Amino acid sequence: MNDSYNRRQFLHRLAALGGAVAIGKSAPARTPNASPAGPLPKRILGRTGANLPVLGLGLGPLGIADFPTEELQAVVEAAIADWGGPVLVDVQWDYGDAEARLAPLLKKRRGDIFLVMKTGKQEKTQVVASVEESLGRLGVERADSLLLNNIGLFDMDRLFRPDGALAGLQEARRRGLAGHLGMSGHMVTRAFVRTLESGEFDLAMFVVNFVDRHTYNFEEKVIPVARQHNAGVVAMKVLGGSASGYESRDQRSMMVDSDIEPAILYVLGVPGVSTAVIGCRSVEQVRLAGAAARRYRPMSGSQEQALMKRGRQLAREWGQHLGEL
C-alpha cells in the first residue's frame, strides 16, 4: 500500500471482509498474480503439523449469498496467490452450494488448499454418510481436516459413545476420508474444553476477537487447553460475525470501520492462534486482508489497554449475540 492511499478509504474497504460492509461490486473473475510483497508468514497448526499462512479463507459469505462460481473460484485463487499456499479453506454442507462450486478448482489446485470440511451429525453412521456426501460434491477423496460443526449444540455424553459423532470422525479417518479431526463453534466454551481434554481432537476453530473476549473469552477458557494438548487453533468471527446475515451480497459486520484493522492485529497477536479465517468476498478484499496481516506488529501496552477498553464497551452492546456461554 503506497503512502498516498487514504487510510479512511482503506478502513472503509477493509470493512467488507468476513461478513462486513459490502463495498461496490465484487472484482471480476480472473487469475490473480502473486503478491509483490511475497506470501504471508506461516504458523504450524498444532499437532497437525500443517504449516499455513496466518490467514485462512471462509466460504460461508460467498456460498450462502450465492455468488457466481467464477467469483468464488477467483477469490480462492487470489488467496493462494496473495497469501501463499497451502491456504486453509473452510467449507461446509450448508454454505449454499459452495462445495460443488469449489470442486472444479480443487481439481486444479488441490495441493494449494488445506481443505477443512464439517459435519453437524451426531451419530456415527450419519457422520460417515455426511462426509461421503460432502466429498462427492467437492469431487475429492479426502479432506485435510474434518470438524464437528457448532460443538456447543452436541450432547457431550452421546458424542463419546461407540455410536456417537467422535466414532464417526474416527471411522472417516480410518477409511481415508479425512486427515485431522477437530471441532468448531462460537458458543458453550465448556463443550470445547471437554472435547479437547479427551485428547482425540487435533484442532479447534472458534471465536477470537477483542470484543467477545469479554463475553465468551475463548482466549482464556479454551486456548490454554488446546495448547496443553498441542491442538491447532483456528480463529473465526474475527470481526464479530455478520450483523445482517449472509443471505445478501450486502453483508456488514458487527464491527465498524475503525475497529477492523485493530481486530486483525489483535487476533494475530493472541498466543496460540495459528490461522485466522476471514470471509472475503472479492479478489480486492483478499488483497486488503493480506495487506492488513502484513502490517501486524505486537501491540504496545498502551495500545492493548485502549483496545481492551473499546472491547468492553462493545461487549456491553453486543451481549451474548453468538448464543449460550
- Using one digit for the tens of pLDDT, what is the confidence trace for 196-221? 999 999 999 999 999 999 999 999 99
Q: What is the Cα–Cα distance from 257 to 272, expressed in whole angstroms?
A: 26
And the C-alpha cell for 273? Answer: 492462534
Q: What is the Cα–Cα distance from 161 to 302, expressed in whole angstroms?
A: 49
User: Domain extents for the chain?
Assistant: 33-318
Q: Does 3.20.20.100 match the CATH number of domain 33-318?
A: yes
Task: Classify 100 as helix, strand or coil.
Answer: helix
Can you give the pLDDT at residue 2? 36
> What value does the mean pLDDT of the chain take?
90
Low-confidence winner among 33-37, 171-175, 177-181, 192-196 (lowest mean pLDDT): 33-37
Average pLDDT, integer, range 296-303: 96
Categorize the per-residue pLDDT at 252 as very low, low, confident or very high, splitting at 50, 70 and 90.
confident
Q: Is it the case that residue 155 has pLDDT exceeding 90?
A: yes
Phi, psi dihedrals of residue 136, rounded to the nearest 5°: -60, -45
Per the CB < 8 A criterion, the answer to whether 112 and 82 are in contact is no
Q: For 270-299, give one letter per residue: b (16+ CB within 10 A) or e.
A: bebbbbbbbbbbbbbbbbbbbbbbbebeee
Which residue's C-alpha cell is 464491527? 255
Q: What is the Cα–Cα distance from 16 to 261, expressed in whole angstroms?
A: 12
Can you give the pLDDT at residue 242? 84
Categorize the per-residue pLDDT at 244 as very low, low, confident or very high, splitting at 50, 70 and 90.
confident
Average pLDDT, integer, range 315-320: 98
Element (H, E) at 317: helix 301-318
Is the entire prediction scored with pTM above 0.75?
Answer: yes
Sign of CA dihedral 115, 116, 120, 121: positive
Low-confidence winner among 19-28, 271-280, 285-294 (lowest mean pLDDT): 19-28
Q: Classify residue 323 by its DSSP letter.
A: S
Of 149, 200, 136, the closest CA to residue 170 belongs to 200
Q: What is the Cα–Cα distance from 231 to 241, expressed in whole angstroms?
A: 24
Can you give the pLDDT at residue 27? 42
Average pLDDT, integer, range 155-179: 98
pLDDT tens per residue across span 80-136: 999 999 999 999 999 999 999 999 999 999 999 999 999 999 999 999 999 999 999
Of 219, 209, 221, 225, the closest CA to residue 321 belongs to 209
Phi, psi dihedrals of residue 114, rounded to the nearest 5°: -95, 100
The CA radius of gyration of the chain, in Å to the nearest whole number, is 18
Per the CB < 8 A criterion, the answer to whether 66 and 35 are in contact is no
Q: What is the Cα–Cα distance from 277 to 56, expressed in whole angstroms?
A: 4
